[in-house]
Structure 1
């Protein structure tokens, strides 16, 4: 009985302290504007495009890394952080948002779901909404249709506070399969008639999956999965909250050892 009471006491003492530690560390990280967030990009418009992006915050400095594939070879891929920093709930669209039924989900139709441009992910120069169609400053897919992008930007406190409400969209499709943007594939863009619809229609989209999930996978693109787990514990807990997990599991281990340890000082074996 004494061993059981001692084990319960150990758990009860460790649990509040561990949880307080996790909450405190998480609050400190949020206040300091730090954290890493993964985004898995999934195809739109049957493009076959996919990818993985990482958003890393250090204060008001945001580093964006993207590795994607299935884009139009040799063509610029406009890309942006879409969403809201004022509490609106936006998300990635699907084929049902093609309201005019022409078989192409254009940017105007999709914006209803993923919101306006918050940051234009250009390779250089301005990153505001006005740079949304600056195709001359957007990354260009290589001969295999892959894009590798990295840039560190200064962002507003609103972006820091609402980073989990934002998501990445890449643009550019090839409806007629000729490996270039042209007007024959889907006509003119509703955003700018001087551009083909193929150049501005979204090719993929992804939402933030979790915090502190590590770096972009080396040797390939991972898609279609959320945060991985370690022994049943979400990865988000393995950063600051990992200390709490270790403390709790340590208490449970002590309890198990005490429960199974033989009782000495009297005749007979342990019950």
Structure 2
């Protein structure tokens, strides 16, 4: 199993490894670009006039995504940083086929060392590490890895703009965005989480494990974390001043799940609308109970 997973990650890295060179070429052509490559908005804290080239020029980091909640999913992420211009490329597999998967860069830019949770984060003992249980361990959202538009924490629940896994549960994602100087300076303290699990293996989101802790109108399967990964070597090059977060007290960061829910009913309507999709038949696949 370990050899098989290593082989898969090696294959994914082959596709990802050319990214720094491509980024360097793009920077040489347009070093002062401030808009993201797909026409989207900027991450929170980034002004429209801020230029690239201030920190970490041409630096790349690898993240291996490991399964949470027995999802069976895994993946590889490459982060390439050119000043305050960040390119994120993700190749993951074993996700719920044909379904959107919310994904974010989590963690702190003020010195706190968050990490990926394990089963001990399941405080209510229901067998699922929910988003609310995971956030105190892996930290709040810094960047929402949407496919287009806004990438701030406000888009953390914008599932209608999150990538969708293919029929085999594979997901490929690439986007270049502008980030704040704090994110650029603390990129090694941050990590990636993808959401959306399928415990009963029926290849859709349903209420088999109950209602979402974020909104009872949504299934827990749609919002529970599926994979998490830390920047490799981060502990060597980046020593946090605040110690490892253990879940006590207030979570440092821009938004907690409760705050995200308070952003407005329109955001949740977009989530529900994105999830109410069939594989080509135009009806909800998960709304059989608990709605």
Residue 30 of structure 1 and its aligned partner are, at CA, apart by 8.1
Give the corresponding residue for 1:130: 154
Residue 31 of structure 1 and its aligned partner are, at CA, apart by 3.9
How many residues align? The count is 182
Residue 188 of structure 1 and its aligned partner are, at CA, apart by 1.1
| Structure 1 residue ranges (4+ consecutive) displaced by more than 3 angstroms after TM superposition | 29-34
Structure number with higher helix proportion: 1
> Is residue 33–residue 160 contact of structure 1 (8 Å, CA) maintained in 2?
no
> Is residue 64–residue 75 contact of structure 2 (8 Å, CA) maintained in 1?
yes
SS of aligned partner of 1:169: strand
C-alpha distance in structure 2 between counterparts of 1:52 and 1:154, whole Å: 21
Tell me the TM-score normalised to structure 2 length: 0.61
SS of aligned partner of 1:160: helix
C-alpha distance in structure 1 between counterparts of 2:68 and 2:56, whole Å: 35
For the pair shown, which has the larger CA radius of gyration, 1 or 2? 1
C-alpha distance in structure 2 between counterparts of 1:31 and 1:48, whole Å: 36
Give the corresponding residue for 1:153: 177
Residue 195 of structure 1 and its aligned partner are, at CA, apart by 1.4
Structure showing greater relative contact order (alpha-carbon pairs closer than 8 Å, 6 or more residues apart):
1
> Is residue 37–residue 208 contact of structure 1 (8 Å, CA) maintained in 2?
yes
Structure number with higher strand proportion: 1
Match of 1:120 among 144, 163, 171: 144
C-alpha distance in structure 2 between counterparts of 1:119 and 1:96, whole Å: 26
RMSD: 1.4
Residue 244 of structure 2 is aligned to residue 192 of structure 1: no
Residue 34 of structure 1 and its aligned partner are, at CA, apart by 3.4
**Which residues of 2 match residues 47-58 of structure 1 at below 5 A?**
47-58=71-82
Residue 97 of structure 1 and its aligned partner are, at CA, apart by 0.6
C-alpha distance in structure 1 between counterparts of 2:154 and 2:219, whole Å: 19
- Unaligned regions of 5+ residues in structure 2, if any? 1-52, 235-291
> Is residue 92–residue 205 contact of structure 1 (8 Å, CA) maintained in 2?
yes
Residue 110 of structure 2 is aligned to residue 86 of structure 1: yes
Residue 152 of structure 1 and its aligned partner are, at CA, apart by 0.2
Tell me the TM-score normalised to structure 1 length: 0.65
Q: 1:43-94 deviations in whole A, cap 9, x for unaligned?
A: 0000000000000001111000000001000000100000000111100000
